[in-house]
Every structure is written in C-alpha cells, then in structure tokens.
Amino acid sequence: MIIKGKVWKYGDNVNTDVIYPGKYTYIRCSPEEMAGHALEVIDPDFSGSVAEGDVIAAGKNFGCGSSREQAAQCLKYAGISAVIGKSFARIFFRNAINNGLLVIESEEASENLSTGDEISIDTEEGTIKSGKMVFNFAPLPDFFSEIIECGGIIPYTRKRLKVNGI
C-alpha cells in the first residue's frame, strides 16, 4: 500500500479528550459529524483543512486516556490515512488497527517531519519519504496487517466466523 498526503504535526501525549471530546462520546454522530470534531480542542482548523490521505506525525503516547474508539474513527473519517508516532497508548493502538487506521512507530520520522510536509509511505517497503528524507519502520506483524487488509476487526470477524462455520 502506498499512502500520499501532507503532514499534520502534534506533540507528546495527545489524549483522547482533545482528539474527540467526552461530551460527544455518548451521542450518535455521523462519520461526517465525527470528522468535524476531530482534534477540535487543540487545533480548531484541522477538520476544515485536512485532506484525504493526510498523515498525523505525533510525539510519544499518542491517544492516551479514555478507551473511546471514536478517537481513532474520527481521524479516519476526517481523511487521515496513517498516524506516525514515537509511541501509542495501547487502547488507541488497538482501536486504530481494529478500525483499519494505519499506525506507525518511528521516532526519527516523528522528530523530523513538520506540518505541511508532503510525504509518501510505502507499507510493504516500510519506508516514509519526504523530500530528501527517508525513514524506515518495521512493518506490522502479519496478524495486524490481516485485520487492516480486511478493513478492520468487524469484517475480519465476519470472515472468520463464517470460516469456522458459526
């Protein structure tokens, strides 16, 4: 898979309350509405300007806090194709994989990328390229890639339950 887009840069410990505020978590929102709330607490311009395919480059512990799955979903619905970070909070990491949102751990890329940089990511090669910069990352384990390729854990489970004859 090749991903192309521009970078949105954020810092360390971007938590789920600023990605998708608690006041919306128990309200049914359409994907468009969810996309509209993405990151509104720390970056009110994000949802209006983000384009399909764009990538977030964050610091450490991205997605810490609540288990709310909308934090991963709203970014996906906003058009974000991948999140690059030094590290990810574990439930966010699970939610991202389970919703087919690519998460890449790369300390180097996270440090060197800036907002507005044009980048391309090759998931098979395990490379992130931007101008003259090239960063390598370890590809996801097969098990995770399988879930992402199915489009998330729900289609993956449907496929699997049928296979098992349940």
Partner 1 sequence: MTFAEKILSVKSGVDRVQAGEIVEVEPDFIMSHDNTASIIKTFEEIGVKEVFNRDRVTVFLDHCVPAANEEHAKNHDDIRKFVREQKIENFFDISYGVCHQVFCEMGFAKPGELILGADSHTTTYGAFGCFSAGIGRSELAVILASGKMWLKVPSSVKIIVEGSFQKGVSAKDLILRIIGDIGSDGALYKSVEIHGDGLQNISMESRMVLTNMSAEAGAKNAYIPPDKTAVDWLVTKGVKDFNPIYPDDDAEYEKVLKYNLNKLVPLVACPDSVDNVKEVSEVEGTKIDQIVIGTCTNGRLEDLETAADILKDKKTAKDVRLLIFPASKEVYLESLKKGIIEILAEAGGIIMNPGCGPCLGAHQGILADGEVCLSTSNRNFKGRMGGSKSKIFLSSPAIAAASALTGKINYFL
111 with 58: CB under 8 angstroms?
no
Cα 150 from Cα 156, distance rounded (Å): 5
Binding mask 83-102 for partner 1 (x = CB under 8 A): ----x-xxx--xx--xx---
Angle at 66 between CA 80 and CA 8, to 5 degrees: 25
Query: Looking at 6, 9, 17, 150, which residue binds partner 1 (CB under 8 A)?
Result: 17
Query: Looking at 1, 51, 133, 154, which residue binds partner 1 (CB under 8 A)?
Result: 154
93 with 61: CB under 8 angstroms?
no
Instruction: Tell me if 158 contacts partner 1 by CB under 8 A.
Output: yes
Instruction: Tell me if 75 contacts partner 1 by CB under 8 A.
Output: no
- Residues lying near partner 1 in the complex (CB under 8 A) are found at 13, 15, 17-18, 21-23, 25-28, 41-42, 60-61, 64-69, 72, 87, 89-91, 94-95, 98-99, 141, 143, 152-154, 157-158, 160-161, 166
